[in-house]
Structure 1
Amino acid sequence: NDYGKLGRAGEAIAHSLVSSSAAGRVAYVEPFAPAPGEAQLGARNDRGLLVFSGCGTPPTGQHEVARGVVQVAELNNPVLLNFGVSEVNWWLHYEFAPVCSRTVLVAYDKLAEWDMMAPRKPVLEQVRAQLLASSDTVVGLSEGSIDDVPDASYVGHGVDRHWHDPAIDSLPEPADLAAIPRPRAVYVGALSMRFDVEAVRDLADSGLDVVLVGMAPHPALVELAERHPRIHLIGERPPEQAAAYLLHSDVGIVPHTDEPFTYSMEPHKAYNYAAAGLPTVTLNTAHAPALGPFLNATRDRKEFVDGVRTALAGGRLSPDQVAQARSLSWNRVAEAILRAA
């Protein structure tokens, strides 16, 4: 229920399918949001993508929601791309599978391994098992999300669409960034969970200025930024604005806490870092195979700080490397999913 707000992979792939000659018409369906009263389902057109959003308790039994989406979107021989392994994904499968020619489970994590979900772990493990067994095809945006699924296909991630804009490299340095000394280590993304505050402290203590662009910082991080002159909390920026912060920094960082859940995902932001010309150093993440030498995945805080220092010494990516990173488009991922389906 957050279309257009978080830059989810499903949105990017849906828009890529809209522009694909192989996909025909595309509908993007959000889960129903809780609300009193009779269930309602609405649709809006966003750049050719029909986005369906519902509220209330959806009807069950006759697949009215799925049939309504297919009718309004004028879908012929529809294929279900079901993004995720949560309980709502089981409802989406139940609702849409009977009206679709094929079902494709698109995994990007193992939700049951997240510490926050510990009370619901047995349920989430069962849901994932049911989805894997019931879907015709399984693809993974990360290797860790499908490492126990022998017949699944890995497709990876893509860079955000604004990196294909020829004018992207002319973005000026943001005013609130200009006063921060270089070299700069930059992080763009959520700051509330799975973020290693101590790793950022260690990096700043080493003499490097750290720029954090993102939403909902953890209270411990806010307190640290208030006390440490080399840690700079910028606040949330839309993806197209965040690009300027990447272009005018020197190394990208992804400092996560050590959790099995994190290793089941792929660090999507590292694709955008590379598209901006930044070498990237991560802590406690899986490696993204397509990024190759652009990314150094470390396993402890000392290795992380040393890795950032080494990346800075090597400098920004070359023009050829930036072009290679920007070629890793969501269109490429969408085409891989269609081939697998």
Structure 2
Amino acid sequence: MTRDVVFTFSYETYADAAARGMMRPPDRILQTLMSSDEVGRLLVANPFRSLASIVARGLRPAESFPAREDRRLITPTRLARRDPTGVSAIVRTYRSYDVQLRTATVRAGMTRPAIVTTNPLVAAFCPFSWADTVTYFGRDDWLSSEARRAYWPAYAAAYRQISESEVGVAAVSQQIIDRIDPRGPATVVPNGVDPGEWSGPRPAAPDWLGAIPGPRAIYVGTIDNRLDVEGIAALARQRPDLHVILLGPTPDPDYTRPLRDVPNVHQHAGVGRSELVAALRNCDVSLLSHRRTALTEAMSPLKVYEYLAAGLPVVSIDLPPVRGIHDRVTFSARTADMGPQIDEALTRGPLSDADRQTFVDGNSWSSRHRAVLDLILRSSARHRPAETFAV
């Protein structure tokens, strides 16, 4: 027996997910839903887009969604370009989103579908009286994201509503579960890896990486305020023989100003998946050099799983979701103090091919997603209680 499912993104679209190689946890869950024999009809919903942005995009190529009769993509529309910040206005906004989703499910012939959303505001404030079950998937703690500070009151209200409504919650860390404190079913689903990307012999190093001497310590990810740039600068100055590579997009180039006069720190823009794999597999040690914040303490860093899939020893600041992943992860209180752990990692060298493959097989996305599917496709226990927000 199959179940109809509605999946909604948070703030990015299917086109955004496809452009980045479907590599983030919500993208991977969507891929599982799209291929699962347990899913009947599937409706995928982008976040709201303003009518003005839709018109502006009119001449661009259509989104590369693999549509078929039982797999559809919709983009709900509105006049405003962004969400309001007031809680009551947010509630009104997502009731409108609910109406557009319901209309689309009727057109698709869906009856009492299961809902899974990566947006806490959708999980909390869409009434979903027409749906069966609702599941929220949290890959970050939105309530501690500085970039969305204006919405913290709305996220706090959303977390309360998710808990009180007994919405199912899957999250990448126990810390996110604890902050929501759900009364309904909940499960922790850490990040994983795609065995197809990490199997086989080591590929050749990209030319830009080959020009950097060893030993090479690499950090992968968006270069933003999660990264301890002052700590990286201090570490690199202490260890002029070590070449530190920062691989990923830099939204604010001024953020890395402290690194510009450090000759053994090398920045490179984000690359495609195959080049990322090749870069990691041709380095010597990997770094999780984040600042310690409420946001980073709730993350399940995807990069750590990919570092280990590449066979690299990992030197990390001590964050709860990183503990217990593998014995080749060593910890330091601060990025600036990572020198001894890096020396130890370089002495021990990479994981053996057998150990690396064992890690890849044991941490595959497919093994992670069984728990997510069980939660999404669970039987309904009760109706959602009425919302208590004035609108």
TM-score range, shorter chain: 0.7 to 0.9
Shift of 1:126: 1.2
Shift of 1:146: 0.8
Equivalent positions of 1:1-341 (< 5 A) are 1=12, 2-6=16-20, 7-36=23-52, 45-46=65-66, 50-57=72-79, 60=95, 63-71=98-106, 75=110, 77-85=112-120, 87-91=121-125, 93-94=126-127, 97-148=128-179, 149=181, 152-159=186-193, 161=194, 163-165=195-197, 169-205=201-237, 206-207=239-240, 208-216=242-250, 218-220=252-254, 222-283=256-317, 285-288=319-322, 291-327=325-361, 328-340=363-375, 341=378
The alignment's TM-score, normalised by the length of structure 2, stands at 0.75
User: Which letter does structure 1 place at the counterpart of 2:230?
Assistant: E
> Who wins on radius of gyration, i.e. which is larger?
2
Q: Could you tell me whether the CA contact under 8 Å between 1:142 and 1:155 is conserved in 2? A: yes
Q: Secondary structure at the match of 1:227?
A: coil
Shift of 1:139: 1.8
1:214-237 residue CA offsets vs partner (Å, 9 max, x unmatched): 002543554344322211111111
- Kindly report the root-mean-square deviation, in angstroms, between the aligned alpha carbons of the 2 structures: 3.1
**Cα distance in 1, alignment partners of residues 338 and 41 from structure 2:** 45
Shift of 1:68: 4.0
Residues 185 and 38 of structure 1: CA distance in aligned 2, closer, same or farther (over 3 Å): closer
Q: Secondary structure at the match of 1:36?
A: helix
1:11-41 residue CA offsets vs partner (Å, 9 max, x unmatched): 111102222223344333221123339999x
Query: Structure 1: which 5+ runs fail to align?
Result: none
The alignment's TM-score, normalised by the length of structure 1, stands at 0.85
Identity of aligned residues (%): 23
**Cα distance in 2, alignment partners of residues 265 and 227 from structure 1:** 31
**Cα distance in 2, alignment partners of residues 295 and 25 from structure 1:** 42
Residues 47 and 144 of structure 1: CA distance in aligned 2, closer, same or farther (over 3 Å): farther
1:129-170 residue CA offsets vs partner (Å, 9 max, x unmatched): 1123224322221121112436522121111x3x41476534
Residues 334 and 99 of structure 1: CA distance in aligned 2, closer, same or farther (over 3 Å): farther
Query: Structure 2: which 5+ runs fail to align?
Result: 1-11, 80-92, 379-391
Q: Secondary structure at the match of 2:212?
A: coil
Residues 260 and 59 of structure 1: CA distance in aligned 2, closer, same or farther (over 3 Å): closer
Q: Secondary structure at the match of 1:186?
A: strand
Q: Could you tell me whether the CA contact under 8 Å between 2:44 and 2:72 is conserved in 1? A: yes
1:187-237 residue CA offsets vs partner (Å, 9 max, x unmatched): 111002211001211232213101111002543554344322211111111
User: Which letter does structure 1 place at the counterpart of 2:65?
Assistant: N
Residues 61 and 119 of structure 1: CA distance in aligned 2, closer, same or farther (over 3 Å): closer
Q: Give the number of equivalent residue pairs.
A: 335
